[in-house]
Amino acid sequence: MKKHILIITILFFSKNYAQNILANKNQKKWFSTVELGFSIPNETKYNSSLLDVNGNYLEGLSLKLSNKATYGALYTLNYPILRRLSLGVIGGYSYHIQPEISNVKLGGIIRYHFVDANLANFYLLSTYRFSLNENFKNGGLGGNIRLGISFSILEEASYSLILNGFWNYSSHETKKPLILSNEGPGFIFIKGYGISLGIQF
C-alpha cells in the first residue's frame, strides 16, 4: 500500500513538473513589431575641413545646422532568451528632411521586459546604415543608436497597439561637399527625441 501511495505521489509531482516545463516553453515564442515614428533633433552638427586646390588641409569647419525632423519605419523580429530579456533583429528605413539623408538600416535590438511576457520594456538598438544618397557613405562611422521605452496602449487577442518614446543618435559620413565646394570628407551628427506608434504580434 505504501508503495502504491509513493508511486502515485511521484507520478503526480512529475506530471505537474512536466506541465510547468511545457508552460515555460510555450511562453518562449517569437514576436514581431512594426512601427512608424519621427524624432526632432535638439542638436544637428556638421564637422568637416576646408582644402586648398591641391587637396591639402587648410582649416577645420564646424557648423550647427537647423534641427529638422527625421521620419522612419522599423520592423523587428524578437525572441525571449531569459526570463525578462529578449534579443531581436531590425530592418528599417529613415529619412531626414534637411540635409536630405535617406537610409536603409539593419541591426539588432535588446529588450528588458518589466514583467514576464509583458509588453512594457526598455530597449536598446543599434543599426548599420546603407545610404540611398550619393552624398553619404554606407556604414563607416555612421549608424544609429536608440534608447527607448515601449508599452502597449491597446491589447487584442492577436495583436497589440504599442507606443514608444526614445532618445535617438545617428551619424553620417559624407563623401561629397555639402555646403562649400572645397570641403573634405565630414560627418553629420544628429541627436534628439522621438515617438513611434506600432503593432506587436
Q: Per residue in 9-24, pLDDT tens?
A: 443 444 444 444 334 4
Work out the average pLDDT over 156-180.
Answer: 92
pTM higher than 0.85: no
> How far is 18 from 24, CA to CA, in rounded Å?
10
Give the model confidence (pLDDT) of 85-120 as tens digits: 999 999 999 999 999 999 999 999 999 998 865 689
What is the pLDDT at residue 29?
87
Spell out where the chain has E strands: 31-51, 57-64, 70-80, 85-96, 101-113, 121-131, 143-155, 160-173, 187-200
Residues in CB range of 73: below 8 A, 6 or more apart: 34, 35, 36, 37, 92, 93
DSSP reduced 3-state for 16: helix
Q: Give the dihedral of Cα atoms 15, 17, 18, 22; nearest 10 deg.
A: 140
DSSP-derived 3-state class of residue 7: helix
Given this model, what pLDDT does residue 55 score? 81
Cα 105 to Cα 139: distance, rounded to the nearest angstrom = 10
In this structure, the number of other CB atoms found within 10 A of the CB of residue 38 comes to 16
At residue 100, the pLDDT reads 93
pLDDT in tens, 43-85: 999 999 898 888 888 888 999 999 999 999 999 999 999 889 9
For the chain, the structural domain boundaries read 28-200
- CA-closest candidate to residue 70, choices 36, 45, 113: 36
Q: State how far the alpha carbon of 54 is from the alpha carbons of 50, 51, 90, 177, in Å.
A: 11, 8, 43, 16
Strands 31-51 and 85-96, how do they pair? unpaired
pLDDT at 5: 45
Cell output for 170: 545617428
Q: Specify the pLDDT at position 58.
A: 83
Q: What is the pLDDT of residue 11?
A: 37
Mean pLDDT value of segment 17-41: 71
pLDDT at 157: 87
Q: What is the pLDDT of residues 123-161, one digit of tens each?
A: 999 999 999 998 998 875 558 999 999 999 988 888 999
Tell which residue, 144, 153, 132, has the closest CA to residue 74.
Answer: 144
Q: What mean pLDDT, rounded, does the chain reach?
A: 85
Mean pLDDT of 36-44: 96
Taking phi over 0 as left and psi of -120 to 50 as alpha, with beta for the rest, 171 belongs to: beta
User: How high is the pLDDT of residue 131?
Assistant: 93
Arch. (CATH architecture) of 28-200: Beta Barrel (2.40)
